[in-house]
Copies of this chain bind each other. A is one copy, B any other.
């Protein structure tokens, strides 16, 4: 492999001068710089990060540790956000996923340390509280899409499920809906509770009573092997004589089944029944016809902001409040119209 020394020889300078050129240090004549750069190009020299790291003990590398993220379609955008930030800022990304195993997680931390990683981004597939082994490890860490159960001070970034659900609910109310159904996400998920809470609070503030709402559980059980009641719940909800004019779905994926249930009953969307989702999982929300109105989980931004925050942290700047929350933007598409006869 061509090293800094071969370049130095080729350019007729000392290796230190080459080092200066590479790192853009001052005190190099323009002429020397050009000669060195030419030698670099001619020889195809590429700096050896390992050697650099060994000297400077800054790896310029972030580690991403995930549970199932790279496994699942949902939150891949978090990773994309992180990578984009890393590219733009000359950082390298080391990625590992645990598949949920504690032993594996311990291994990953070890692996990260053996690579002398500067910091860690701890990412989970769905929003939840976790208890990372970070406690006994002193690598700076930012939690993305989750927060620590044990250490409240660990910086975290999460989507604002509450605000998203609030916006969606208001949107339906503004459109004139007064009888609204809600098909709940798996209550295991942290987002589920927040979204439901926002829905209940917002409708109540608006003056709706419990009789105006129809709430059903759509899924339950351990993530990955949950029981799915969505279709049945939606069908039942829509067969009531006093059926809701709009249904809020726990997420976009569940909305598929609500669509199918509605259509199977001969209802038209949105004329007879309005539907909104959550997440803006575009493979679904844009594949549905009419396309689904939903609230976008800010996954990409979660990743981007997380990486940026980790960097800030590494530079010694402490942030005021540890737990951040990013808004979910309402995406208006075609699945909502005013109720038929209001």
A residues engaging B (CB < 8 A)?
A: 1, 46-51, 53-54, 57, 59, 70-74, 76-77, 79-80, 83-84, 87, 92-97, 99, 104, 107, 110-111, 113-116, 231, 253-254, 256-257, 259-261, 263-264, 266, 268, 281, 283-284, 287-289
A93 partner residues in chain B, CB cutoff 8 A: 94-96
Contact A94 B92 (CB under 8 A): yes
Tell me the minimal C-beta distance from A289 to chain B in angstroms: 5
The interface residues of chain B lying within 8 Å CB-to-CB of A99 are 84
Q: Is there contact, CB below 8 Å, between A70 and B73?
A: no
Residue from B95, B114, B268 in contact with A46 in the complex, judged by beta carbons closer than 8 Å? B114
- State the majority secondary structure of interface residues on A: helix
Partner of A284, one of B1, B59, B256: B256
Per assembly, the copies of the chain total 2
- Compute how far the CA of A288 lies from the CA of B264 in the bound complex, rounded to whole angstroms: 12
Chain B positions within 8 Å of A284 at CB level: 256, 283-284, 287
Q: Given that A96-B87, A253-B283 are contacting pairs, would A50 and B46 also be in contact in the complex, using a CB cutoff of 8 Å?
A: no
Given contacts A70-B80, A92-B115, 17 further A-B contacts (CB under 8 A): A47-B114, A48-B116, A50-B59, A51-B54, A70-B76, A87-B107, A92-B111, A93-B95, A93-B96, A95-B95, A253-B283, A254-B287, A259-B260, A263-B264, A266-B266, A283-B283, A284-B284
Contacts of A77 in B (CB 8 A): 71
Checking B50, B256, B261 against A115 with a beta-carbon cut-off of 8 angstroms, the contacting residue is B50
CB of A25 to closest CB in B, whole Å? 19
Nearest CB of chain B from residue A71's CB, rounded to whole Å? 5
A104 to B88, CA, bound (A): 10
- For this complex, 26 residue pairs linking A to B, each with C-beta atoms less than 8 Å apart, are A1-B116, A48-B114, A49-B114, A49-B115, A50-B53, A50-B115, A70-B79, A70-B83, A71-B77, A72-B76, A73-B74, A80-B97, A83-B97, A87-B107, A92-B111, A93-B94, A93-B95, A93-B96, A94-B94, A256-B288, A260-B263, A260-B289, A263-B263, A283-B283, A283-B284, A284-B284
A254 to B284, CA, bound (A): 10
Cβ–Cβ contact B46 & A110, under 8 A? yes
Q: CB distance B76 to A289 under 8 Å?
A: no
Give bound CA distance, A111 to B71, whole Å.
25
Least Cβ distance of A222 to chain B in Å?
A: 16
Inter-chain CA distance A319–B259, complex, in Å, is 50
- The distance in angstroms between the C-alpha atoms of A17 and B31, with both chains bound, is 49
